Amino acid sequence: MSDSKTPASIELRLWELNGVVIERYRYSSGFVEPLSKHSHDEYQFGLSFDCQGEYNYRGELHYIPTGSLSILQSGEVHAPSERRYLESPATFLMMYASSVLMQTVATELARSTSLPFFQTTYAVDQTLVNLFLHLHECLETPVSKLQQDSLLVLLLTRLIEHHAHQCPPIQLKKAKSAIQRVCAFLHEEYTTNVSLQELASLAGLSSFYLCRAFRKATGMTPHAYQIQVRIDRAKRLLMQGRAISEVAFETGFYDQSHFGSNFKRLVGVTPGQYQKGQ
């Protein structure tokens, strides 16, 4: 049995299919450093048959039964629980689908023109789980692109038709458009060393009000949101085989060390480990 202070080793594989990022993490037994609170523009889906998942999400701790598909809404802040010691090896299968893609699928299914909203944090649906597993298997074996594409469509269709609801309106009506402008700016100008006052001017709000409203709407500060956008962009560049030093510079980090520490804090592995997963 491993010592409780022994860090778990991590083996990572990743793929990209039609803009959807798919990952496989294999952990040995041991201690896993917890991730900080973060969010994604993408919806996050995960599956493990080895251990129960645990997420701090929507103000409480949620338990994800083994063998069920976890579902985390686009843009919502979350973090795995701090209890991160694995008694035995575990495999986690992950998938990240953009909010644009999910909205497009929902529209084409004539479900809604709004973002799909998932009320629960997991789905007990064997058909859905089988599609998720089959898609991962097809990425590791020589099958046709058509088969991979078809499985992805079937999976997203099943998710939205059987488990999604129409997204409820944001409560912060007064600040909604202002926050949307700030978010759009942080996505488009993610390398810019922007100040809070500059963002407040863009929003037409005071710095104090913007900070409070932004955090209430997104679950994080504008700075934390900017870091998350940069890390999401960095993951894409790393998958293209770009040098880590170049990625750090092109995503707005001070240096490679600053980039590496933030990447590990939010992703759970170093940029080098992530890149080797392809």
For the domain that residue 99 is a member of, what is the CATH number?
2.60.120.10
**What does the DSSP 8-state code read for residue 7?**
B
Q: 27 with 10: CB under 8 angstroms?
A: yes
In a domain, 5, yes or no: no
* 18 and 155, same domain (yes or no): yes
Q: What is the mean pLDDT of residues 239-267?
A: 92
Q: 22 with 136: CB under 8 angstroms?
A: yes
pLDDT for 156: 92
Last residue of a domain, one of 132, 166, 200: 166
Question: How many Cβ atoms from other residues are within 10 Å of residue 36's Cβ?
Answer: 12
Report the alpha-carbon distance of residue 47 to residue 53 in Å, rounded: 9
* 260 and 217, same domain (yes or no): yes
pLDDT tier for residue 4 given thresholds of 50, 70 and 90: low
Q: How many domains does one find in the chain?
A: 2
Most confident of 164-173, 190-199, 248-257: 248-257
The domain in which residue 157 lies consists of 10-166
For the domain that residue 231 is a member of, what is the CATH number?
1.10.10.60
**What does the DSSP 8-state code read for residue 136?**
H
Q: In the predicted model, is pLDDT for residue 218 greater than 50? A: yes
* Segment 120-165, tens digit of pLDDT: 999 999 999 999 999 999 998 877 788 888 889 889 989 998 999 8
**What does the DSSP 8-state code read for residue 35?**
P
Alpha helices in the chain (DSSP H): 99-108, 126-139, 145-163, 176-188, 196-203, 207-218, 222-239, 244-250, 256-267, 271-276
* 150 and 33, same domain (yes or no): yes
* Segment 66-90, tens digit of pLDDT: 999 999 999 889 988 765 788 899 9
pTM of the model: 0.73
Q: In the predicted model, is pLDDT for residue 168 greater than 60? A: no
Q: In the predicted model, is pLDDT for residue 174 greater than 50? A: yes
Residue 169 Cα distances to 116, 156, 159, angstroms = 12, 23, 21
